[in-house]
Every structure is written in structure tokens, then in C-alpha cells.
Amino acid sequence: MNHVLLIDDDVELVGMFSEYLEREGFRTTCVHNGADGAREALRGEYAIAVLDVMMPGTNGIEALRLIRAGSRIPVLMLTARGDDADRILGLELGADDYVAKPCTPRELTARVRAILRRTQASVDNGPGVVITVGKLSMYPEQRRATWDGVPVELTSTEFNLLEVLARHAGRPVSKAELSEQGLGRPLARFDRNIDVHLSSLRQKLGPLADGRSCLQTIYRLGYQLIRD
């Protein structure tokens, strides 16, 4: 799938993004308000949605809530530069990543490719591979995970980050590594994406036998998935 849904009330900007994406081999559909955009995203016909935060009526945050209530489609948020509150709230609600506006079509396309590369990547180890760490089981080809046999609902980026940690279980993984392997891009200065996604993962995964989270912060080294 290479069909991109663009949701933004700025018709001229969306047209520019759409034209560039289509030159790069993507199909695009453009919607110019949040309510219609959320309904369109829930149709299941798109590889990714690009969603602007600042829209009249149903804004991007409200549209994201509607999307996440019924779909795990990757969502890339467009946020105002320096607006950390909307950025963090969007990540907490299940956005996969964000791009600060103004941004170039080239930057947007690179970020879309990075998300889709991880989402759609085939597993080199062959079919049926299962990564098991304690009560956690991950099925990369099916993009699903379970904890003690119970399905865990993860966003695309949460799955990517947890897979990286699971493949390196028992040792710390730096934020730079997690950004490169999980987000598909270098870690930016003051970027809190990883921290917000890991906080969400802690809430979704069950505790260890002693009550601790299986995801531990290792001072100055990064994050570690504990073997239990």
C-alpha cells in the first residue's frame, strides 16, 4: 500500500504536498476538514494519514481521537513549530510521529517513507518468526503482540520500538538507536518522541512478577526490556 491520506484545511499546501508525493510514486487523497478526514481514515484504504493539528471545527487532536478509536493506521501529525503541548498530546493519543510546520514536501515525504518502511518491512528471519521475552510475544510479520496470551493494541511506532527492545532484550538500547531503528530517522535534539511512546508502552504492557515495569530506564544508557 502506498496510498497517503492528507488531512489539512490549507488547500494550497495540501496540493503542493500531494503533487510531490505523487511524483515520488505515492497515491494521494486530500480531505480539508477533521471530521471528514477521520471518517476517510477509518475506511481502511490508506497506508498512512498525514493530519494537521490546527483546523477549524474538528481539529487534528479530535480527529486523531476518532481515528484511534477504530484504527491503528499510522498517523503523521503536522504541528506548529515549537508547539510542544499539541505535539506531546498527539503522541500520547497514538500519533506515530510529527513534522513541524512549515516543512518542505521533501521533508514530509521522507518522514512518510520512514514510517512506512518500518510498518511494511518484511522480516528477514522467515515466516512464522515469534520474538518471545517473558510474557511478551511479538509476531513481526503480522504486526501484532500479546502479553501473557492477551493481545496488546499498539500503534505502528509503538510496535516498532517494542520490537527493537525485544530483539535486544536484557541490554540497554540508546534513544539514538531507538530513533534510527524504530522511527527510521536520526534522533533530533530535545526530541521527546521516544519518551512519550515508551510511557504509553509501559501502560499497555503488564508488570513483572515483582510489580515492576518490564520497560526500565537505564540512566544515561537508554531503555531496556527486562527478561523475566
Number of residues that make up the chain: 228
Query: Which pLDDT band, with edges at 50, 70 and 90, does 122 fall under?
Result: very low
Q: Print the SS3 string covering 88-114.
A: HHHHHCCCCEEEEECCCHHHHHHHHHH
Q: Last residue of some domain: 120, 155, 190?
A: 120
User: How many angstroms separate the CA atoms of 77 and 51, rounded?
Assistant: 5
pTM: 0.83
Q: How would DSSP label each residue in 194-208?
A: HHHHHHHHHHHSPB-
End of a domain among 73, 100, 120? Answer: 120
Residue 186 sits in a domain whose CATH number is 1.10.10.10
Q: What is the pLDDT of residue 128?
A: 65
Q: Is residue 154 part of a domain?
A: yes
Q: Is the pLDDT of residue 103 over 70?
A: yes
Same domain, residue pair 17 and 108: yes
Whether 141 and 115 map to the same domain: the answer is no
What is the distance, to the nearest Å, from the Cα of residue 201 to the centroid of all Cα atoms in its chain?
Answer: 12
| Average pLDDT, integer, range 92-107 | 93
Per-residue pLDDT reduced to its tens digit, 124-140? 444 568 999 999 999 98
pLDDT band at 61 (very low <50, low <70, confident <90, very high): very high
Mean pLDDT of the chain: 91
Which residue range forms the structural domain that includes residue 108?
Answer: 3-120
Lowest-confidence segment of 10-14, 64-68, 72-76, 78-82 by average pLDDT: 78-82
Residue 29 and residue 82 in one domain: yes
- 176's CB contacts (< 8 A; 6+ apart) are 186, 187
Same domain, yes or no: 86 and 183: no
Mean pLDDT lowest for which of 1-10, 54-63, 80-89, 179-188?
A: 80-89
Whether the pLDDT of residue 101 is over 70: the answer is: yes
Number of domains in the chain: 2
The DSSP output letter for 42 is T
Q: Where are the alpha helices (DSSP H) in 48-188?
A: 60-68, 84-92, 105-120, 156-167, 175-178
- pLDDT in the model for residue 123: 44
Residue 155's closest CA among 198, 186, 187?
198
Does residue 207 share a domain with residue 141?
A: yes
Whether the predicted pLDDT of 74 surpasses 90: yes
Residue 168 has pLDDT above 90, yes or no: yes
On whether residue 8 sits in a domain, the answer given is: yes
Q: Which residue in this structure is represented by grid cell 520490537?
A: 163
Structural domain includes residue 125: no
Q: Residues 87-111, buried b or exposed e (16+ Cβ, 10 A)?
A: bbbbbebbbbbbbebebebeebbeb
Please report whether residue 126 resides in a domain: no
Q: 206-226: per-residue pLDDT in tens?
A: 888 888 999 999 998 999 999
**How many C-beta atoms lie closer than 10 Å to residue 23's C-beta?**
10
**pLDDT exceeds 70 at position 121:** no
* Statement to judge: residues 15 and 90 lie in one domain: yes
pLDDT at residue 53 tops 60: yes
The reply to whether 116 and 47 lie within a common domain is: yes
